[in-house]
Amino acid sequence: MVRVKKGVNALKTRRNILKQVKGYRFRRSKTERAAYEAISHAGAYAFAHRRDKKGDFRRVWNVKINAALRPLGMSYSKFMGAVKKNKIELDRKSLATLAEFHPKTFEAVAKKVA
């Protein structure tokens, strides 16, 4: 069996790992083992938080819609129930945009639903 020295590949791997952790603090940016662990944790958090971000935005939209509905004498839950019942095909994102930037249009939608 031929002897394989993997110095080039090991150095390339090490270089790539350390490049990814540039800007991390203390040992995590200097040693290969700590850097690899930091990368794997960061990747797991990034994956999970990409999912969480969608829920965060939905919560923000709900708050914006509710804030625009309160002066009109409606609550968010009653409004969304009525939207579904009247088969209005506007999602929460577009309703929140209307509520924030086009209040007159949002008011017209709310009056139509009520």
* Domains of the chain in sequence order: 7-113 (1.10.1900.20)
What share of residues in the chain are helix, strand, coil (percent, to 5)?
80, 0, 20
For residue 111, give the nearest of 70, 76, 77, 72 by alpha carbon: 72
Rg (C-alpha) for the chain, rounded Å, is 26
Instruction: Enter the pTM of the model.
Output: 0.75
81-109: average pLDDT: 96
15-30: average pLDDT: 96
66-76: average pLDDT: 96
84: confidence class by pLDDT, cuts 50, 70, 90: very high
